[in-house]
Structure 1
Amino acid sequence: MPSLLEGEGVGVHLARRYLLAMLEGDRSRARDLLVGAVKAGDLTVPEIYRAVIRPAHAEVGRMWQMNEVGISQEHYATANAEWIIAQLEPLAERTARNDMTVVATSVGGDAHSLGIRMVADCFEFAGWRAFFLGANTPARDVVEASLISGASLVALSANLCSHARTARAVVHALRQHPETKDIRVIVGGLPFAVAPKLAERIGADGTAPDGLAAVELASRIVPRPPSRGV
C-alpha cells in the first residue's frame, strides 16, 4: 500500500514534517509547524485540517496496518493531535452566527473522534453552533441531542464497514421520531469514501470527506431558518 503523502504542494510538505514530528514524539514541534503556517498566511485553519492533519493521520493508520509503526505511536499521534487542534481553533477566522445547529458525533462503537471534531470546528467557523458529542454515541442519544439542541443537521462519522451499519441505525432512529424525521443527515468516514453511494443506501442525505466539504454540502441541502424580523 503506497504512502498517502506523495506529491507536491504546501499541504503535502507540511503534512510530512508534521507527521515526522509526531512519530518522533515531539508534539511541540508539530504544533509550531501548524501554528506557524496559519500565522504566516500559508494555510487557514480549515485548510490545515483538510490538507495536513487529516491526510497525516490517515498515513499513520496506513503505517500501522503495514506494521511500520506501533500502536503506541498511533495513539500518541491521535491524542496529541487533539491538543494541537485546541490551539489552532482560536486562530481560525469566523463568520457571523447563522442560527443553525449541527449535532456532530461518531456512531456507537466507533472510538475515533479526531475527524468529526474537525468537522464540528469547521461548522463553528462557518457560523453554525456545533453540538459536539465526541465518539461512540448510541443512536438514542443522537436523537436526544438533536431534540435538545434544535438541530438543523446531524453529521455522523463511521470509520469501519461495521460502523456504516450502525450509522444506518442512527439515521433510522432519527427518521422514526416525529420531531427529528426531517433533520438532514450527512455521513463521513472510510466506508463512504470508498463507496459514496452507500450514504444514500443507509438513508443519509449526503457524504463529505472533510469539514470544509461538509459545510459546503450543508449549505446546499439544509433549509435556511426564517429571517428574523426587525
Structure 2
Amino acid sequence: MVKEETLARYLEALLQGDRGTCRSVIEETMQRGVPANSIYLHLIWPVMAEIERLSRTDRITSVQEHMATRINRTIVDQLQNKLPRRPAKHKKAAICCSREELQELGAQMIADLFESDGWQVRFLGGGLSNDDIFGYINEYAPDVLLVYGTSPKQAPEVRRLIDRIRSVNAWPEMRIIVSGGLFNRAEGLWEEIGADGFAATAAEVLQVAADEQPAPAADRRTVNRRKRRQQAAAQEEMVLTE
C-alpha cells in the first residue's frame, strides 16, 4: 500500500508543478516494491480525485489544476507499460467520456487497467458526439461500454446516449458502466440514467465489469421515470387526503 505521507508529498508537488519531485515520488514508491497497478489505484487515482475536489470547491487555481493533470498524465503514460499483463479474456471494452469532459485522465487509467486485465480495449476519450460513439459501438460491438464523467452538466448527454442504445436494443448483452466524480457525488444517478453498473473508484471498475449479468430492463430507471413516479405518488397522496 501507499503511505499517507507519500500521498501528501505527491499532492504537494503536483500543485506546485514540480515535475522532478513527482517523478521522484513515483520512482521511490516503485523501489519499495509497490507495483505499477497499485500506484495507479492507491496513489494517482486518489490524488487525482482530491485535485478534482479542490478545483470544484475553488481551493486551488485553474493553473494548479492544469499543471497537476498534465504531470499526472505524463506519469500514467510512463507507467502504462509497467502494468502486469494477464492472459487474454477475449472480451472487448470501449471507454469514452461525455462530449464536454475535460478530465480524460481517469478514463485513460481505466482503459489501461482493463487492458492489463486481459481485455481488448478501445479508448475513445472525450470530444465525440453521441452519434460518433453510437456508430463506433455498432462497429466494434464491445462487451462493456464505460462512460466517464466528472461534471453535473454532462448527465443529460450521458442519459441520452444510454437511452438511444436501449431504444435500439441491438446489443442486449452489452453492459453499460459509468464512473467518475459526477456519479460519485449524486447517489443513485447511475440507476436513474439507465446504466447497468457504477464504479466509484478505479479499483472497483474491473469488479463491476466482471459481473456479467446486465440489469433487467424493468430495473433500469431514468430521471423522467423517477419524476413520473414521484408525480404519481403525489397525486395519489392528494386523493387520499381529500
Q: Same fold (TM over 0.5)?
A: yes
Q: Which residue of 2 aligns with 1:12?
A: 4
Unmatched 5+ stretches in structure 2? 215-242
Do the aligned residues in 2 keep the contact of 1:187 with 1:199 (CA within 8 Å)?
yes
Determine the structure 2 residue equivalent to 1:127. Answer: 118
Q: Is the 8 A contact 1:171 1:203 kept in 2?
A: yes
Aligned to 1:227: none
CA apart distance, 1:68: 3.7
Q: Distance in 1 between matches of 2:60 and 2:126?
A: 24
Between the aligned partners of 1:170 and 1:158, the Cα distance in structure 2 is 13
Residue in 2 that maps onto 1:40: 32
Seq. identity, %: 28
2:89/2:119 contact within 8 Å kept:
yes
Q: Amino acid of the residue matched to residue 36 of structure 1?
A: E
- Whether 1:140 aligns to 2:168 is no
8 Å CA contact retained: 1:106, 1:156 = yes
2:55 corresponds to 1:64: yes
Aligned pairs (5 A) from 1:145-224: 145-221=136-212
Report the alpha carbon displacement of residue 177 of structure 1 after superposing the two structures with TM. Answer: 3.0
Q: Which residue matches 2:15?
A: 23
CA gap of 1:39–1:28, structure 2 versus 1, over 3 A, is: same
- After TM superposition, the structure 1 stretch with the greater mean CA deviation from structure 2, 118-127 or 107-116, is 107-116
Shift of 1:87: 0.6
The two structures have a TM-score, normalised by structure 2, of 0.81
Superposed CA RMSD in Å reads: 2.0
Q: How many residues align?
A: 214
SS in 2 for 1:111: coil
State the partner residue of 1:55.
46
Q: Which moved more, 1:54-63 or 1:123-132?
A: 54-63
Q: Does the 8 Å CA contact 1:152/1:222 hold for their aligned counterparts? A: no
CA distance in 2, matches of 1:180, 1:138: 19
- 1:175 is aligned with what amino acid? R
Helix, strand or coil for the counterpart of 1:154? strand
- Deviation (angstroms), 1:74: 0.8
Contact 2:99–2:128 under 8 Å retained in 1: yes
* Cα distance between partner residues in 2 of 1:152 and 1:40: 37
CA-CA distance at 1:144 after TM superposition: 1.9
**2-structure distance, mates of 1:204, 1:216:** 16
- Where 1:110 maps in the other structure, the secondary structure is coil
Which structure has the larger Rg over C-alpha atoms?
Answer: 2
Cα offsets for 1:162-190 (capped at 9, x unmatched): 21221111111222334334311000122
Decide whether aligned partners of structure 1 residues 26 and 137 sit closer, same or farther in structure 2, where only a CA change above 3 A counts.
same
C-alpha distance 171-136 of structure 1, shift in aligned 2 (>3 A): same
Which structure 1 residue ranges, 5 or more long, are not aligned? 1-8, 224-230
Map residues 72-151 of structure 1 onto 2, 5 A cutoff. 72-151=63-142
Once residues 74 and 213 of structure 2 are traced to their aligned partners in structure 1, the CA distance between those partners, rounded to angstroms, is 31
Q: State whether residues 11 and 48 of structure 1, in contact with CA within 8 Å, keep that contact through their aligned partners in structure 2.
A: no
* Deviation of the 1:63 alpha carbon: 3.0
Q: CA deviation at 1:192?
A: 1.7
Q: TM-score, normalised by structure 1?
A: 0.84
User: Match of 2:175, as an amino acid?
Assistant: R
Q: Structure 1's 167 and 51: CA in aligned 2 closer, same or farther, altered over 3 A?
A: same
Name the stretch that deviates more: 44-53 or 63-72: 63-72
